[in-house]
Structure 1
């Protein structure tokens, strides 16, 4: 196979993988009765434990007003809690609830276990280093271009 054809196949496979990840996440969001931005909020909270609403606004690319509406909705659904920041009681921090942790574990853990066993388990340590390098470089490229297309505020 020529390099040109191989590059086309890699590009097509990457697009197909991205589409399947997005479809899975959309199904998870529907199951949780939330939208995709709400699910991204949960992802941030699961990674960082507690976050200020301002930090969420930056991480999600939303206005503070949009974040407030999202947090109100997700609090009503029982997916997060808000409390005073223990370091600065003037601030509020947001945390995922135990219910959120349990539900996301139920939905994502089977995929993670099967992926580690049936996909990553197929590769040697050296091959996994190449996969990690590819994913790191691809993410960095994506982040650079994400910054490039974000509308600049005056």
Structure 2
């Protein structure tokens, strides 16, 4: 690896991360939710039902705060609660058609243009390297997130 390209990786990743954060912020605004609510909705959209405990674990929240968040998202018509198929004491949170439609309207144009604007500019081998890089970087980031979760919060 040349030191020239290695020096460009950090700023490029930071710029990408900033653009994703900006886009997510605008999607949250369009949906009328906050950033934590949006993170919950992303989990719900990617699954056929997710338990509040799983949401709490994934987002580093208490189950009580997730219950309040799900109440709020349910009032907006974005999620519904359903009995857990294996344990009647538990519930699963699922996306509503309203959420799917609103997210599709917000994200659809960006996703539709990604092929021509981004993917078609690279060969399959280049994209394979990008995928490998992103997976390794994500695993690295996740490992350090676990370490930070073990640290106590700052008390001033």
Deviates more, 1:82-91 or 1:65-74: 82-91
State the match for 1:53 in structure 2. Answer: 52
More relative contact order in 1 or in 2 (CA 8 Å, sep 6+)? 2
Q: Does 1:103 align with 2:102?
A: yes
In structure 2, distance between residues paired with 1:108 and 1:56: 22
SS across alignment from 2:80: strand
Aligned partners of 2:56, 2:78: CA distance in 1, in Å? Answer: 17
Structure 1 CA distance, aligned partners of 2:113 and 2:66? 34
SS class of match (2:81): strand
2:41 is matched with which residue?
42
User: Which residue in 2 is equivalent to 1:141?
Assistant: 140
When structure 1 is superposed on structure 2, of 110-119 and 22-31 the one drifting more is 110-119
Three-state SS of the structure 2 residue aligned to 1:95 is: strand
User: CA deviation digits over 1:90-123, x for unaligned, max 9?
Assistant: 2111101100011111111211121122111111
Matches within 5 A, 1:1-154: 3-151=2-150
C-alpha distance in 2, partners of 1:16/1:128? 19
1:3 positional shift: 3.1
Query: How many residue pairs align between the two structures?
Result: 152
Q: Which runs of 5+ in 2 are unaligned?
A: none
Q: Which runs of 5+ in 1 are unaligned?
A: none
TM-score normalized by the length of structure 2: 0.91
